[in-house]
Every structure is written in C-alpha cells, then in structure tokens.
Chains A and B, each alone.
Chain A
Amino acid sequence: MTEKVLEIRDLRVTFDTPSGPLEAVRGIDLDVEAGELLGVVGESGSGKSVSFLATMGLLPARARVTGSVLLAGEQLIGASNKFMRSVRGRLISMIFQDPLSALNPVHRIGDQISEMLQSHQSLSSRDAAKRAIELLDIVGIPQPDDRARQYPHEFSGGMRQRVIIAIAIANNPKVLIADEPTTALDVTVQAQILEVIERVQDRFGTAVVLITHDLGVIARVADRVNVMYAGRNVEQGTINDLFDHPSHPYTRGLLASLPRPGKQRLKPITGFPPNMVNPPSGCAFHPRCEFAADICKFEMPSLVSYGDLQTACVRARELPKHERFV
C-alpha cells in the first residue's frame, strides 16, 4: 500500500477584492503519494497556485483559508507561523516560475544553499559548504565548487532554476511543489530541468507536485494527473487513463484543443474562462460544456469514481464514449 504524504480535504480559499469576495479555491480534495509525480493542470486562474500557496502557508494574511491539509500527519491549516517556518524547506518546499526573484542577488550561490541547510540541520559551516557543492552537482551544475562561489547574476536562467531546485531539496523534503518551473525557460532548457526533477524524485524518493498548463510536460513526467477548473478538481487519475479515455468534458476539450501533426482544424473549447468573483452556478463549466443539461446549472458535482478515473460531472455516466486522439 502506498503512503500518503499530503492529504488535502475540502480546501477553500477566499480573497476580499474590490468587486467582492473571490473564492479562488472552492473545495479541493487531493492526495499526494510518497515518491510520486503528480501533475496539476488547468487554465489560468483555476486555482492551481493558490491551492499550493495555501498548503505552504504563503498566502497573504487577508486570504481566508479553511479545510484540512495533512503533511505526513501534521495539520498545516491554522498552524502557527513558527510551525510553518519549521516545515517549509524541511518537509515541503516550493519552487516557482521565476528563479531570479527567488535568489538573493548579493549572496554567493553556495552560501544560499548552506543557509537553507543550516536553518534546519545542525551542520558546521564547513560541512554545509561541502553539502552545498554536492547538491549543485546533483542538479547538474558543472564545476560545482567554482560555481558555488559565484553570484546569481553569473548564472543563466536554466542554471538558476537548477540552483533553486538544489535549495528546495537541500533538507530532503517529502514533497516538492514545482509551480510552472519551466514556463519561463526555452524548450531545450525545459527538457534539462524536467530531467533534473525526475532525477531528484528518483534518487531521494521525493514526491513532486508539478503545476503546469503544458499537457506535453504532463505526458512526459507525471504518474498521476489532477485537472482543475474554476477552483475545483474536476478529474483525476493515472496518466494513461487520463489521456486514453478522459471522462470529464473539460479534460476532453483540453486534449481536443491541442494542435497535432496534420492540418485538421483545431477544436477550441467555446466561451471564456469564468469570472471567479461570480462563477457560474452548479457545475462552473456548464456555459462552455457541449454536454450541459439543466441539472448542471443546479448541482455542483464532486469527484466520483468512473472506471479508473475520478470525475466531477453529473452526467459522466451518460456521456458518449471518448474517441482517442491520434
């Protein structure tokens, strides 16, 4: 049996905005199993970042967060700042799209890694410095002992993202959350960074949550996938099940909209993403869903098992069979 390292239950996040309260995350249930790579996809504004910022305790104080997040059995929602500081970097780490802003421009790279090590482990400066060089080596930085003495501006974008990963895994956390870690990078560099992430997952058994809008990236690295729409998870399952026979109309639409070799006309999802200050009633996807019926306007579906997938669609059983893309 697999061990759950992260268990999110009914997570909700509300922001006060000038146009009224905005419920960005509207009841998420999600498990991350030890050592797995969970892909999280969904369009811009669907609540991917906010869900995991809430998990990390990194949202501004004015955000109202409710629900439960258990990390290796410890409750994170409502925990004190002191406790969260002791958890972040030790049990769970998060990396972001822009590696430059996450590094301190006036400190040497090696020192920044040592600092992370020493804030959670009692290590001498010398041992920390040595370990920092090992970490740089693990994330694929050539000549790590020279590079450790350099400053962030001396590193390229891809190299900085490697450094960020080194800092994030320094204390061997159980979970690494990577929020669009390759979006700002070129594809040839993205391929390198994905390889580093897979290597870390493999070597240390770190569970990785990879947030991305790129279904190609998901297809490349994820074991399981969670699809989000309008602050809810609408479908989840293993990578092959999800790509082979997606059940939720949004997942189907997403896969159908991708350009594939050949000149067939593309199939967009009609309409536009919801305004989260005033999301559509019932199933928030109903204004854009080709299968929507009256019931969809009234009932907010929750994840239910259909075959190998879990799907949040009131009509999931009645939908025509999905045709696989080639």
Chain B
Amino acid sequence: MSDELLKVTNLVKNFELRVDKGARRRKRIVQAVTNVSFSVAKGQTLGLVGESGSGKTTVGRCILRLIEPTSGSVHFEGQELGSLKFEEMRALRRKMQIVFQDPFASLDPKLTVGASISEPLNVQGVPGDHADKVLELLELVGLSADHAQRFPHEFSGGQRQRIGVARALALNPALIVLDEPVSALDVSIQAGIVNLFEDLQSRLGMSYVFIAHDLSVVRHIADRVAVMYLGKIVEIGDQEAVYSNPTHPYTKALLSAVPVPDPKTERARNRIMLEGDVPSPVNPPSGCRFRTRCWKAQEVCAQEEPMLTVRPSGQMSACHFPES
C-alpha cells in the first residue's frame, strides 16, 4: 500500500516486574503486548479497543518510542524507527504526537496556555516567538485568543483537552495517538471533542490511532478497528465489519456488554455474560488467551494458539471456532 503511514509488525513489549516475597526475590515478566501487527493509512483512523490492561496504551507508547519495544518493528513513512539515530528520531518525532486521557494532568499548571501550546515548537528549535501560531491553533480547536494568557486551572476538562490537542497540532503532525482522549469528559462535552477530531482530520489530513474503551465512540470515529485482549489483537478489520459481524467470541461479548442508551432496545437484547475477570498478563493462559472466559472453548484452545485468519466479511480474527 502506497498510502500507508504507519506499519506495526510483530510488536512485543514485556515489562520486568520485581516482586519481593519474603526473602525470595523473583523476577516476573508482564507480557503487556504480544505480536501485535497493524497498519494505518494516511488520513485514516484506527480504533484500538479492549479492556483495561489489554495493552492499548503500551502499543501507543511503543509507536512513539516513549518506551522501547522488546521486539518487533514500527515503520513510519517507510522508515523503521528502531534503526534511526537519535537526531533522526528527534526530527521524526515532530510528525508523531500523543494526546493523553487526563486533561488535568497533562498540562503544566505553571505555564500559561500559550506557553504550553508553543512548548513543542521551542523544544524542536523552531525559531520565533510563535504568538501567531498559538492564536491560529487556539482558533483551530475552538478556543479564543484571550485564552492564551490564562492558566490551566481556569479551564474545564473539555477546554483542557482542546488545549492538549492544540499543543499536539503545533508541529503539524502526520499521526496523532489519542489515548482515551474523551474518557474523562462528560458525554455532552465528548461529542464536541469528537467532532473536533473529525474536522481537524478532514482539514489537515492526519491519521489517528484512537485508543478507547468506549466502543460506541470508536464506532463513530474509526475507519478500522483492532480489538485487543491480554496483549494480543483478537480481531481487526473495517469498523463496519467488526461491529456488524463480530467473529471473535470476545468481540461479540464486548459489544454485547455495552449498554445501549435506549431502554426498550436494551431490555429486549440478548446479552452474553462473561464470567470472571481478565487473567493476569504475568501468566497468560496457554493457547488462546481468552479461553478461560470463553463459552466456546475446547481442548484445542488450550493447546494451539489461534492465528489471525480472514473471515467472510473481510476482517481477521484469531479463533478456532469463530462466530459466523
């Protein structure tokens, strides 16, 4: 594909965890991300969904090289990031930005909004005082010029998230990783931020990796969706295919668990109730990692790891007994 902006191949990230248990000291490995592969086309949005601890944030941080992957590769505009020298990486980094979930923690309380927004420009050594650029960015995200002189504590959650977006846009990135960008916001405010992301994309043409646990927001914004469970992608494909015809039992259960905001539909629905919680990524189940909660599990699921396989509606899923 020529319009491919980002390509992640067999990404693995293990964290070493030291546990002190009495006198014995043991090392444990958290398998946060295991063999994750996907690509994102220019101007497109990939939604990354899954329950907490499934590895979404870790994938995002590996893409931006905020943490070093254990193995695997990330290609951005055709360049493999792991092979880049420090200076080259620094230059590339301006094209990749991240916006975090918590609009309260992600801004420096001592900096004015204007200073926060122009900080990436200064860090990248872009000359000038950037006053015009700051105004342009504030307008772009629906704030006004007089906001530049104020401090973060004077703003609401939704406004802070807009400031965070303005800051991420300062260097005209080609890719923005949005890590739960609306999760901390009230629904009525969420809608405005989601619209903002859509408008910015159609005007500026950047790509998004949109991480969220809210499946209805992802359905709205994403072109493609990847569903993660315990560090692995269990299903990936076009938004329409994954939502309308989920083929992995976990995808099906996840979609089924989200309550629909309409009492009549919601109460008439057949729900799949999963038992138990997600197991620990320190000791993930053998074979298919979902098998401890899967109602379709057979012996083979414990022995053989299912591979991502193309299904009739076009998406891929990793299951020995897929739904049709």
Contacts and interface: CB of A to CB of B under 8 A. Distances in A.
Given A266-B194, A272-B159, A157 B277 contact: yes
Given A188-B51, A240-B263, 20 more contacts: A43-B186, A43-B187, A43-B189, A44-B157, A187-B257, A188-B254, A188-B257, A213-B186, A216-B260, A219-B261, A243-B263, A253-B188, A259-B194, A261-B243, A266-B195, A269-B189, A270-B192, A272-B156, A272-B159, A273-B189
A313 B3 CA distance: 52
B157 A254 contact: no
Contacts of B187: 43, 213, 215, 254, 257-258
Contacts, number: 119
Contacts of B262: 219, 243, 325
A195 interface: yes
A312 to B, nearest CB: 18
Contacts of B78: none
B258 interface: yes
B271 interface: yes
Contacts of A259: 191, 194, 216-217, 219-220
A188 B256 CA distance: 9
Nearest to B250: A188
Contacts of B274: 188, 191-192
* 8 nearest A-B residue pairs (beta carbon): A216-B259, A268-B192, A268-B191, A186-B51, A266-B191, A269-B188, A43-B186, A156-B277
Interface in A303-324: none
Interface in A157-215: 157-159, 186-192, 194-195, 213-215
Interface residues of B, number: 43
Contacts of A257: 187-188, 190-191
A258 B261 contact: yes
Interface in A243-286: 243, 253-255, 257-261, 263, 265-270, 272-273
A91 interface: no
Interface of A: 43-44, 156-159, 186-192, 194-195, 213-220, 239-240, 243, 253-255, 257-261, 263, 265-270, 272-273, 325
Given A258-B216, A259-B219, A186 B159 contact: no
27 contacts: A186-B213, A187-B257, A188-B274, A188-B293, A189-B51, A192-B274, A192-B275, A213-B186, A216-B258, A216-B266, A219-B260, A220-B267, A255-B261, A257-B187, A258-B187, A258-B191, A259-B216, A259-B217, A261-B219, A266-B190, A266-B191, A266-B195, A266-B220, A268-B195, A269-B191, A270-B192, A272-B158
Contacts of A217: 259
B204 interface: no
A301 to B, nearest CB: 19
A157 B178 CA distance: 26
